[in-house]
């Protein structure tokens, strides 16, 4: 079997075609990536690769330790903690976790359970020591549904005028929804100033 021409599909028939060319192109661009039906890679997949580099700078070999923290240690512990740094050593590693002042003392008692949960999640003792640092945690966003934004009449009229020329009802509704969110966020930040 010789070399195949660009765009020719690999296989017995040698029928070639557009599908084979797309497969070859995708294999060159993202050989290990997950594909959708049209050959695109999910944005979350490439975003996690970019984030992984940042996590590695702070000592996190596994980005999942950050992104899945609530899943690993449980929602209650995750609300009071934030993993900050991982330092690898011969006997495992030390995970530095920031905790709010009130929770730090209580978390000392939960250290063995936290280490066990991390080991159970990864399948090995990636972390052998937990170092607690007291400090403020960043504010968390509430996870409820966002209320519908009620715009001032002049803003609503402006948004309607911008989307009126669109013939597609679904597109118009989606853009109005997006516009309400953007304008509402802008107005709420202006009120805080």
Phi, psi of 88 (to 5 degrees): -80, 145
Asked whether the whole model's pTM tops 0.85, one would answer: no
Contact indicator for 14, 8 with CB cutoff of 8 Å: yes
Share of the chain above pLDDT 70, in %: 62
Phi, psi of 133 (to 5 degrees): -120, 125
Domain 60-134 in CATH 3.30.300.20: yes
pLDDT at 49 over 70: no
Tokens of 52: 């992984």
To the nearest 10°, the Cα dihedral for 98, 99, 100, 105? -140
Residues 6+ apart with CB under 8 A from 69: 78, 81, 82, 83
pLDDT in tens, 105-150: 888 999 999 999 988 988 888 889 999 999 888 887 665 565 666 7
pLDDT at 48 over 60: no
pLDDT score, position 23: 46
Pick the closest to residue 64 from 20, 127, 3 (CA basis).
Answer: 127
Lowest mean pLDDT among 67-71, 121-125, 138-142, 176-180: 138-142
């Amino acid at each position: 079997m010789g070399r195949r021409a660009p765009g020719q599909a690999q296989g017995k028939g040698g029928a070639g075609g557009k599908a084979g060319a797309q497969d070859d192109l995708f294999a060159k661009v993202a050989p290990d990536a997950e594909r959708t039906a049209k050959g695109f890679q999910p944005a979350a997949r490439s975003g996690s690769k970019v984030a992984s580099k940042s996590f590695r700078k702070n000592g996190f070999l596994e980005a999942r330790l950050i992104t899945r923290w609530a899943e690993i240690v449980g929602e209650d512990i995750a609300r009071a903690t934030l993993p900050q740094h991982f330092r690898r050593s011969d006997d495992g590693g030390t995970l530095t976790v920031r905790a709010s002042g009130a929770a730090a003392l209580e978390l000392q008692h939960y250290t063995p359970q936290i280490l066990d949960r991390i080991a159970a999640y990864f399948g090995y003792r990636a972390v052998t020591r937990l170092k607690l640092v007291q400090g403020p945690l960043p504010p968390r966003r509430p996870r409820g549904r966002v209320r519908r934004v009620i715009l001032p009449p002049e803003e609503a009229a402006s948004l309607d005028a911008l989307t009126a020329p669109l013939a597609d009802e679904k597109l118009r509704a989606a853009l109005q929804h997006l516009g309400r969110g953007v304008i509402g966020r802008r107005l709420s930040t202006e009120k805080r100033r």
